[in-house]
Amino acid sequence: MAKKITDLTAQQKKMVGVSATVQFALAGLALADIWRRPAAEVRGSRALWSAACAVNFIGPLSYFIFGRRK
């Protein structure tokens, strides 16, 4: 059974907050890069990469590793 936020210790709440902040920052940076970068410099569809950014950590990191042409 999943824990409620009220069941977490102060340290666990802090880690959830830090993880959420990192996730949103990565997604925001990836989305900004996807739409500012010329289409010729993005491998694949911008729409698919944008959707992939919704996948926690994996989507934005995958874009930065595999989705950009140098």
Residue range 5-57, pLDDT digits in tens:
899 999 999 999 999 999 999 999 999 999 999 999 999 999 999 999 999 89
Query: Residue 2's pLDDT is what?
Result: 81
How many angstroms separate the first and last alpha carbons of the chain?
A: 45
Number of alpha helices (DSSP H) and beta strands (DSSP E) in the chain:
3, 0
pLDDT digits (tens, 9 = 90+) for 45-60: 999 999 999 998 999 9
DSSP-based three-state secondary structure for 25: helix
Q: How confident is the model at residue 70 (pLDDT cuts 50, 70, 90)?
A: confident
Tokens of 38: 């010329």
DSSP-based three-state secondary structure for 69: coil
